[in-house]
Amino acid sequence: MKKLYIPILVLSAIVAKAQSFEEISQPNLQNYFYSSAAVADVDNDGIQEIFFTGAIDSDGDTNVDVTSNSLYKNTNGVFSSVQDFGDNSVHLSAVKFLDFDNDGLLDVITTGLSYNDIVNYQQYRWKNTGSGFTLMNNAPGKIYGGLDVFDFNHDGKQDYAINGTQYVAGVGFTHDLDLYLNHSSGFQQNTAWMPGTQNGSFKVIDLNNDNELDLIVNGFNAEMEGTFTVYVNENGTLVKKSELPAVSDSKMSFADFNGDGFQDFVVAAQDENYDAYLAVFINDGQGNFTETKIDGEGLSAGNVEVGDLNNDGYYDFVVIGDYDYESYSKVFLYNPQLQKFEKDENANLYNLGSQGTLAVFDYDNDGNLDVLANGFDWSDPDLLPYTKLFRNTTTVTNQKPNAPTILTATDNDNKINFSWSGASDDKTPELSLQYELSVGSEAGKSDIAKYIVTNKSWYLDKTNLPSKIFWSVKSIDASKKYSDKSQEKEFAVLGVADVKNTIISIYPNPVKDVLNVKSTSKIKSHKVYNLSGQIVNARLTSDSTIDFSRLEKGIYVVEIQLENGKKTTQKIIKN
């Protein structure tokens, strides 16, 4: 029998053309019209569930007739509905998870309209009891917009905002961006917080790494003109910074694409000429953006989500949407050498678009990001929507990141400032890592704050903090994989009078042999860390100096604990 030899180059070509995704049958997932979805670990079992909003064809005649929302439980990779939300369901909707009472269980906000009353737009706030969701609040809502969750006033409690169209009796249709500030006992609504849009999207995010949250919003304004506005946060007030090329019918997704530590974004939309549009915007670190269109690939009326799809450590994106009355699903992979996105021609996703939803998450916990997509198939003769789950088939492995090793906290200007360093990952650049900050009133708790931040620092307003807090950080890589928890730190929160009366100085910096520490309060203890987080031997003398003479040249972190409870940290350069 003659042996068959396949040239290496041919074999490489075969491997390169292997499909990136395979469809996984999920017969229990409804085929939703006008949908939205959120994914999260609802029951803290380490597996992510899906909350779907939308409408369905309940009688099988190919026409939508019932608004239906469901929570789908993930059991060994198979989803099944465990709670239906009945008459309190919405479509043309938005949905987000947030833990609004900091009890460790993710609650839910939904907004949209119901076929029960087509002009009565509703907003629902659902509490997670541990065994299901119960309705806590029902208020006027919006359609053709979106939701975002964040902590705008730095009190540790998650706030949210709703954008879109709302009908107000006696006024008509409005297009405002409303803010809901979380005060534990309830939410304070700030109506028309910022100019809003219809058929657009928005994001509240730190654009310049100053630990203050900024805003980007686009879509049709009240005059039905396309807009795209960047606002920066100046002392708690959002101030217009710039206008980007006008878009509408848009969705955005944010990540640090190029590994420089600043949040970039991708937008799928229609431009001012109503042509399909797809572009990446790179952030210069000051909240200024450079637009790069991906010519010939524009999609509108769809969705876009980011994540490291090929486990190379860099954020990629998936986009679905419409072009010339056809639906498309596309994957773009970031090439770090060329610093550009390249289309994955072998993605093998089902083409979906038009008012669809998209989620990128690891549904089967195999370390690869999978894709959930829902939308209309324009090639279907009945123009029906479909819900599809696609498993990522990459064989490239990704390790979870390492947690930060150096955690520091300072008490200044009525703020507790947290910072950390020493995190790393096998693939994701350090500057592209995100972090989950947890702060609790007791060791092991996160009842004060727990949410994701995009750079290596954050602060909390100390006004309502207890006298002692415990905090830790987890790293998150581009594949959305979490590290273990860092070492938990204890921190004493001083009263305002104590802070004002405490003076401490550490000098000189850079230091050669002897570091001086002077304070109005006695020094209780000290620690000196290297950049790997290891404590080094640097003796504190009786005259309050620290001996650096035996240390190697480099950067160190000095932590001083005073007897009055104040703790301070400072980076020191050893020459």
Tokens of 502: 């405490």
Report pLDDT for 374: 97
Report pLDDT for 118: 66
Backbone angles phi, psi at 501, to 5 degrees: -90, -5
User: Any residues with CB less than 8 A from the CB of 8 and at least 6 apart, and which?
Assistant: none
Report pLDDT for 531: 73
Report pLDDT for 1: 35
Q: Which domains does the chain have, with CATH numbers?
A: 1-30+303-398 (no CATH), 407-497 (2.60.40.10), 502-574 (2.60.40.10)
Report pLDDT for 571: 84
Report pLDDT for 15: 39
Distance CA 256, CA 429 (A): 10
**Cβ count within 10 A of residue 320:** 31
User: Any residues with CB less than 8 A from the CB of 333 and at least 6 apart, and which?
Assistant: 309, 310, 312, 316, 341, 342, 343, 344
DSSP notation for 315-359: -EEEEEEEETTEEEEEEEEEETTTTEEEE-TT--PPP-EEEEEEE
Report pLDDT for 265: 98
Distance CA 497, CA 278 (A): 54
Beta strands in 115-197 (DSSP E): 117-128, 133-140, 143-150, 159-168, 172-174, 176-182, 187-195
Report pLDDT for 18: 65
Report pLDDT for 570: 83
- Taking 70 as the pLDDT cut, the residues of the chain under it are 1-18, 118-119, 495-502, 532
Report pLDDT for 169: 81
Tokens of 295: 């010519």
Taking only the tens place, the pLDDT of each residue in 116-145 is 776 689 999 999 999 999 999 999 999 999
